[in-house]
């Protein structure tokens, strides 16, 4: 029983290959532009806020830095405690 769906392989021409190459290059360029735009949006500097919002942003950033330093000091003390010889 022969399969009715089998047909001869499609003929691939140089023109078809050139057209596919153009399409893929366009897709790559579009992807590159999208990635560039996304990276720019992610890493663009934050716009300066004025008034109370700006002050609150600075206060929040300062508190985060202070908390990070304080936590780092606590961790360093704890690690040093493991390596010190205990005196009796």
pLDDT single digits (tens) 44-71: 776 777 788 888 988 999 999 999 999 9
Rg (CA), the chain: 31
**Token code pair at residue 7:** 């047909």
CA distance linking residue 17 with residue 44, whole number of Å = 40
Helix/strand/coil percentages in the chain, nearest 5: 70, 0, 30
Q: What is the pLDDT of residues 8-50, one digit of tens each?
A: 667 889 999 999 999 999 999 999 999 999 999 888 776 777 7
Q: What is the pTM of this model?
A: 0.42
Query: What is the helix (H) or strand (E) element at residue 72, kind and residue range?
Result: helix 51-83
Position 84 confidence tier, pLDDT thresholds 50, 70, 90: confident
């Amino acid at each position: 029983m022969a399969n009715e769906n089998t047909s001869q392989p499609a003929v691939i021409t140089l023109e078809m290959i050139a057209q596919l190459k153009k399409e893929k290059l366009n897709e790559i360029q579009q992807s590159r532009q999208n990635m560039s735009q996304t990276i720019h949006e992610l890493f663009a500097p934050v716009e300066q806020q004025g008034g109370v919002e700006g002050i609150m942003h600075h206060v929040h950033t300062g508190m985060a830095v202070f908390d990070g330093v304080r936590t780092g000091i606590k961790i360093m003390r704890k690690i040093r405690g493991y390596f010190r010889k205990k005196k009796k």
